[in-house]
């Protein structure tokens, strides 16, 4: 490795007096290509610079073993400020084998920790070499190249690596959306569709964070079902996701497909390599113990979110509800249905009522056309379902009743009498995705064998505190999101929900301030026609809002 020639080439570029950061890239790449000629390939990534990707990636065959970020000679790498400091922190969390260099100082980070620091020159009225450090740089570069893909054996390690990659996805996605603000790209279309139908005032930064979180957790869920541990990719993730979740499959159809924004390809592929380095099913093996006290599926989500964005975790009210509490609430609702409503099977009841059902069409006079329709009497809704803890507990309470009476009818019961009346609403994409995966896995563990194409679970990505209005079906880039909202709105407007169950976010003052729900709350701020002067706005607690919408049903009494 000819370090003296590298330094001379670096000096020659600098002496031209008009060099930019990009001017030094060719010189650095010539050095990197000498580390292990023919076996280790360095790739300069000029198209990705503006969206926050590292300047170089290093490939051994089709495996990425490291990355490098290059600054202009003389940059103070030990005292970075502002965005550059934040960038380094993100890279250290996301990229386990990383070089930061200005050509003179080389910093080598492994798993976020500084392992080598080599300075081969000074910036003093020009570039001055320090030949005594040339051999040390060669050793550090060869050590960098010798790193092999990690093997992950602890959930905490997986959570940290997932969080690091997700943070980079968020940063790149956010920068891309800002750059594409006035363009009709797929990503921009999805962002505008989300603003249209979910959170009207969501910022680009918040959307990017939610999207990145969903990609990370969706791939986690797919890997959980993976039987081929030696391989994993974003394309394989799509194949592994259950067909009962059309929204998630549509999202990953974009992530896995040829139209994925090229600015995101490298980091999502990097994330796939993280999952390839571990057996997720083995790490999460405790979830199969349905009668256990802990739910590692939910605990791991909290662990991941604490690493990824702990401030958002608090703001969203994402806290673990102890399983004994969940069990008590669900059993209490089951008992109320039996003793107060005269339904011997409680939550497992299959009786029906006849309703005038809105078809969504109108006659020639503009009057809604309705039909008579039989629907289940015991309709169950968790309006803030999160990862599905309460819905899972409902299934666990129902299963023994049905299996005890008609064990051979369990699968048919699920399709005809459980899925059609077990509903969940969730606003956060990642929680929504995990809820689907969790319930799908639980039904399988409880012996569910589809008798036909599995029906989709009635869990929807929607804002429970938004009025159920017809979705805009003309959005060109996010038809699948419109479909999700349309189906959720059918539940909101037409389904006679009997049991409202669950645990809304622990946020005393809600961030969910949609126009419709805020208008309803305002009516309660007046006494004898005068505003009572509320200061802290505790009426905006999500518990209050959910109770107002749902009329404090039997589940609220039990809770």
DSSP of 447-489: T---SSSPPPPEEEE--TTS------TT-SS-HHHHHHHHHHH
Domain ranges of the chain: 3-145, 155-316, 337-508+547-558
Residue 401: pLDDT band (50, 70, 90) is: very high
Task: Give residue 476's pLDDT band: very low, low, confident or very high (50, 70, 90).
Answer: very low
Cα–Cα dist 272/280, whole Å: 12
d(CA 178, CA 181): 5
In sequence order, the 6+-apart residues with CB closer than 8 A to the CB of 152 are: 158, 161, 274, 277, 278, 283
What pTM, to 2 d.p., does this model score?
0.71
Distances (CA, A) of 442 to 40, 257, 381, 397, 405: 44, 29, 18, 13, 20
pLDDT value at 207 more than 80: yes
Decide if 383 contacts 546 (C-beta within 8 A): yes
Which pLDDT does position 556 carry in this prediction? 39
Please name which of 445, 440, 473 lies closest in space to residue 456, comparing C-alpha atoms: 440
Q: What are the backbone angles phi and psi of residue 408, rounded to the nearest 5°? A: -75, -10
Identify the DSSP state of 539.
Answer: G
The answer, yes or no, to whether residue 227 has pLDDT greater than 70, is yes
| Per-residue pLDDT at 114 | 92
**Among 246-260, 270-284, 365-379, the range of highest mean pLDDT:** 365-379
pLDDT at 524: 59
Q: Which one-letter DSSP state was computed for residue 401?
A: H
Mean pLDDT of 229-252: 82
The pLDDT confidence band at residue 343, using thresholds 50, 70 and 90, is very high
List Cβ neighbours of 214 (8 Å cut-off, separation of 6 or more). 251, 429, 430, 432, 433
3-state secondary structure of 511: coil
Query: For residue 295, what pLDDT band results from cuts at 50, 70 and 90?
Result: low
> How does residue 4 score in pLDDT terms, banded at 50, 70 and 90?
very high
Average pLDDT, the chain: 80
Tokens of 277: 């380095």
Element (H, E) at 370: strand 368-376
As its CATH architecture, domain 3-145 has Alpha-Beta Complex (3.90)
pLDDT digits (tens, 9 = 90+) for 428-473: 887 888 888 888 888 888 889 888 777 889 999 887 777 655 555 4
Q: Within 13 Å and on the Cβ side, how many CA atoms surround 179?
A: 14
- Residue 552: which residues within 8 A CB-CB, separation 6 or more? none
Split at pLDDT 50, 70, 90, the class of 415 is: very high
Residue 371, class by beta-carbon neighbours within 10 Å (0-12 exposed, 13-18 middle, 19+ buried)?
exposed
**Selected residue with higher pLDDT from 232 and 38:** 232
| Confidence check: pLDDT of 258 > 90 | no
Alpha carbons 491 and 356: distance in angstroms, whole number: 14
Of the ranges 197-211, 233-247, 386-400, the best mean pLDDT one = 386-400
Exposed (0-12), middle (13-18) or buried (19+): which is 450, by Cβ within 10 Å? middle
In 225-309, where does DSSP find H-type helix? 234-240, 246-256, 262-276, 280-283, 296-308
Mapping DSSP onto H, E and C, the string for 140-162 reads HHHHHHCCCCCCCCCHHHHHHHH
Classified as helix, coil or strand, 387 is coil
Average pLDDT over residues 69-89: 88
Q: For residue 314, with 0-12 CB atoms within 10 Å meaning exposed, 13-18 middle and 19 or more buried, which class applies?
A: middle
Task: Return the top range by mean pLDDT from 55-69, 186-200, 387-401, 430-444.
Answer: 387-401
Q: For residue range 297-340, what is the model confidence (pLDDT) as tens digits?
A: 667 777 788 888 777 655 555 566 778 888 999 999 999 999 99
Whether the pLDDT of residue 242 is over 80: the answer is no
Q: Look at residue 554 and tell me whether its pLDDT is greater than 50.
A: no
Q: Residue 257 — very low, low, confident or very high, per pLDDT cuts 50/70/90?
A: confident
Band of pLDDT at residue 273, cut at 50, 70 and 90: confident
Model confidence at 499: pLDDT above 60: yes
pLDDT band, very low/low/confident/very high, at 390 (cuts 50, 70, 90): very high
Strands (E), 73-216: 97-101, 105-110, 113-119, 121-123, 127-129
Those residues whose C-beta lies under 8 Å from the C-beta of residue 529, and which sit 6 or more positions away, are none
Q: Give percent of the chain above pLDDT 90.
A: 21
CB 379, CB 459: distance < 8 Å: no
What pLDDT, on the 0 to 100 scale, is given for residue 318? 55
Q: What is the pLDDT of residues 18-69, one digit of tens each?
A: 777 777 888 899 999 998 887 888 888 645 545 567 888 888 776 788 899 9
pLDDT for 494: 84
Q: Is the pLDDT of residue 522 over 80?
A: no
């Amino acid at each position: 490795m000819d370090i003296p020639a590298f330094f001379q080439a670096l000096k020659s570029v600098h002496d031209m007096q008009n060099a930019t950061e990009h001017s030094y890239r060719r010189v650095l790449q010539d050095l990197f290509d000498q580390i292990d000629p023919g076996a280790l390939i360095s790739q300069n990534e000029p198209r990705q610079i503006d969206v926050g990707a590292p300047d170089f990636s290093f490939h051994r065959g089709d495996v990425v073993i490291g990355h490098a970020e290059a600054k202009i000679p003389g940059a103070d790498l030990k005292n970075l400020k502002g965005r550059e400091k934040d960038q380094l922190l993100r890279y250290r969390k996301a990229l386990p084998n990383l070089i930061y260099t200005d050509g003179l100082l080389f910093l080598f980070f492994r798993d976020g920790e500084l392992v080598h620091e080599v300075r081969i020159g000074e910036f003093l009225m020009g570039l001055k070499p320090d030949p005594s450090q040339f051999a040390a740089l060669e050793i550090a570069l060869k050590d960098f190249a010798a790193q092999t893909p990690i093997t992950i054996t602890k959930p905490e390690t997986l959570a940290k690596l997932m969080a690091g990659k997700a943070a980079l996805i968020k940063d790149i996605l956010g920068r891309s959306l800002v750059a594409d603000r006035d363009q009709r790209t797929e990503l921009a279309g999805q962002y505008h569709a989300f603003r249209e139908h979910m959170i009207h005032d969501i910022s680009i930064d918040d959307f990017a964070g939610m999207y990145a979180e969903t990609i990370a957790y969706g791939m986690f869920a797919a890997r959980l079902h993976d039987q081929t541990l030696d391989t994993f990719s974003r394309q394989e993730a799509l194949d592994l996701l259950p067909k009962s979740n059309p929204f998630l499959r549509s999202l990953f159809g974009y992530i896995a497909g040829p139209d994925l924004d090229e600015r995101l390809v490298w980091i999502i592929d990097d994330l796939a390599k993280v999952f390839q380095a571990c057996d997720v099913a083995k790490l999460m093996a405790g979830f199969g113990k349905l009668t256990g006290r802990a739910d590692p599926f939910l605990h791991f989500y909290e662990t991941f979110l604490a690493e990824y964005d702990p401030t958002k975790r608090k703001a969203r009210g994402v806290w673990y509800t102890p399983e004994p509490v969940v069990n008590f609430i669900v059993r209490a609702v089951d008992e109320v249905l039996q003793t107060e409503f005269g339904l011997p099977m409680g939550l497992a009841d299959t009786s029906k009522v006849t309703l005038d059902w809105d078809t969504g069409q109108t006659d020639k006079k503009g009057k809604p056309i309705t039909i008579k329709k039989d629907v289940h009497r015991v309709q169950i809704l968790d309006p803030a379902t999160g990862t599905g803890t309460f819905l899972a507990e409902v299934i666990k309470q129902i299963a023994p009743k049905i299996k005890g009476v008609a064990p051979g009818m369990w699968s048919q019961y699920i399709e005809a009498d459980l899925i059609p009346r077990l509903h969940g609403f969730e606003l956060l994409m990642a929680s929504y995705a995990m809820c689907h995966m969790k319930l799908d896995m639980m039904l399988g563990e409880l012996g569910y064998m589809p008798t036909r194409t599995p029906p989709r679970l009635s869990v929807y990505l929607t804002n429970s505190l938004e009025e159920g209005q017809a979705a805009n079906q003309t959005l060109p880039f996010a038809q699948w999101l419109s479909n999700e909202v349309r189906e959720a709105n059918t539940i909101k407007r037409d389904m006679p929900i009997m049991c409202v169950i669950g645990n809304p976010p622990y946020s005393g003052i809600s961030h969910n301030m949609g126009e419709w729900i805020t208008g309803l709350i305002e009516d309660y701020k007046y006494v004898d026609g005068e505003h009572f002067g509320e200061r802290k706005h505790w009426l905006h607690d999500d518990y209050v809002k959910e109770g107002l919408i749902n009329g404090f049903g039997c589940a609220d009494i039990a809770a």
